[in-house]
Amino acid sequence: MRIALLGYGKMGKAIEKVALERGHEVVFKIDLNNSAEKQLIRKDNVDAVIEFSSPHSAYANLEFCMKNGLKTVCGTTGWLDARREIEQLCIQNKASFFYASNYSIGVNLFFKLNEFLAKLMAPHQQYEIFTSEIHHTEKLDAPSGTAITLAEGILNNNKTKKSWVNNQIASKEELAIWSSREGKVPGTHTIKYISEIDEIEIKHTAYTRMGFALGAVLAAEWLQGKEGVYGMNDLLSL
């Protein structure tokens, strides 16, 4: 499989390592220093684009990919207000768009565990809910896309919460997400249910970026021969 990388930072380099180990070829490595080369990417010279850039670059990158009918895997967060537009472009141009806020297999199982626990806890309103996330200091957006996905899983299964807020005291109908940026932490996400008499906690801790990189390459492999909009639930049959 011929892969183009849009974004060649630490994640891009990790994805390159995994892709090469799995027998693929990385034919383009695009970052801010050679962004004009993006125009050279076409369906006849690339089998999959993997986009891990920045919140500021993601929309333009994805718009280019969709308009050119490319099979695209995206892991950039912080741009999702425009997600519906990208999905519509994907359908209009018979492209393929695979998005996940987190490509770790463990995290995606954690998403399901979070939803199940939220459903179990919904009748027990004596528990207050808190969520937190810790990432490395180079992560530009807060809260993380993973934290937002976790928050949405809670909101969809606990009707006492109407919305989430970041790094501020929450009202009774709000879910608090507390975000920290520390050192070189790949990603830690915690959900807590706290009452006056006890506490329930679930937590996912990433040790390296390689789990995210492997998931992105698996998604690109899975996307071959497909058109439309997909995510990790499709890949993992969840």
Where is the binding site, in residues?
43, 75-77, 100-103, 136, 145-146
> Which residues define the annotated binding site for NADP(+)?
43
189 is annotated as an active-site residue: no
* Ordered DSSP codes for 75-123: ---S-GGGHHHHHHHHHHTT-EEEE-S---HHHHHHHHHHHHHHHHHTT
Strand partners, 2: 25
Residues flagged as binding site for (S)-2,3,4,5-tetrahydrodipicolinate: 136, 145-146
Computed from CA positions of residues 72, 73, 75, 81, in that sequence, does the dihedral angle turn out positive or negative? positive
Catalytic residue among 13, 17, 119, 139: 139
Cα–Cα distances in angstroms (integers) from residue 199 to residues 109, 122, 188, in the given order: 22, 15, 19
Residue 184 falls in the annotated catalytic set: no
CB contact at 8 A, 79 and 102: no
What is the Cα–Cα distance from 16 to 8, expressed in whole angstroms? 9
Q: Of these residues, 24, 135, 161, 189, which one is catalytic?
A: 135
Catalytic residues: 135, 139
